[in-house]
């Protein structure tokens, strides 16, 4: 999945429905940029897209509406993951984390606890976990004191008013 003449650092295929690619970013030495494609209902792949916090938030709002307890447990899981996540400090550390087989195996295991959420919304739980892990690494690599994704998770968990959630999710770069 070449993007702007750049080859990906790693590519992940999820459920034959999503392809996520990670590229070298420009904000810092170990920055990553995420792009994805999604198989449409007609079987064709979408254009290459940039995952946005707002897409993630809307999907979680739908999941919260249908399976509130499970969705809140999922958000708790992601908040714990956020606290444990550190940015990349070396090229080797980034390469080790991005290894397809290791990362996807972990995502598969974690997704089993929340699989019921995949029935609601646009995105599968595996796709959301993979994106969350990559977005967390991206944010914390570029700013150790990053907080945007955490604020979004907290707002969703607290089921704050939709205006507040959308405001957080669409803040610059969201």
What are φ and ψ of residue 92, in 5° steps? -65, -40
Structure confidence at residue 174 (pLDDT): 42
Do 49 and 95 form a contact (C-beta atoms < 8 A)? no
User: What pTM, to 2 d.p., does this model score?
Assistant: 0.89
For residues 59 and 51, what is the distance between their CA atoms, to the nearest angstrom? 12
User: Residue 121's pLDDT is what?
Assistant: 93
pLDDT of residue 31: 94
* Regions of the chain where pLDDT drops below 70: 1-4, 160, 172-174
Residue 48, H or E segment: none
| pLDDT tens profile 27-67 | 899 999 999 999 988 999 999 999 888 888 899 999 999 99
DSSP 55: H
Residue 1 is predicted with a pLDDT of 67
Output the pLDDT for position 3: 59
């Amino acid at each position: 999945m070449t993007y702007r003449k750049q080859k990906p650092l790693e590519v992940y295929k999820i459920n034959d429905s999503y392809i996520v690619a990670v590229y070298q970013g420009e904000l810092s030495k170990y920055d990553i940029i995420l792009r994805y494609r999604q198989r449409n209902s007609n079987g064709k792949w979408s254009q290459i897209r940039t995952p946005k916090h707002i897409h993630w938030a809307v999907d979680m709002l739908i999941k919260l509406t249908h399976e509130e307890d499970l969705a809140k447990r999922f958000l708790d899981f992601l908040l714990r993951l956020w606290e444990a996540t550190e940015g990349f400090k070396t090229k080797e550390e980034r390469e080790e984390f991005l290894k397809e087989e290791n990362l996807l195996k972990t995502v598969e295991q974690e997704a089993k606890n929340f699989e019921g959420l995949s029935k609601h919304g646009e995105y599968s739980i595996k796709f959301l976990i993979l994106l969350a892990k990559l977005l967390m690494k991206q944010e914390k690599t570029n700013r150790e004191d990053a907080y945007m994704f955490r604020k979004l998770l907290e707002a969703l968990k607290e089921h704050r008013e939709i205006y507040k959630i959308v405001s957080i999710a669409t803040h610059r770069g969201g």
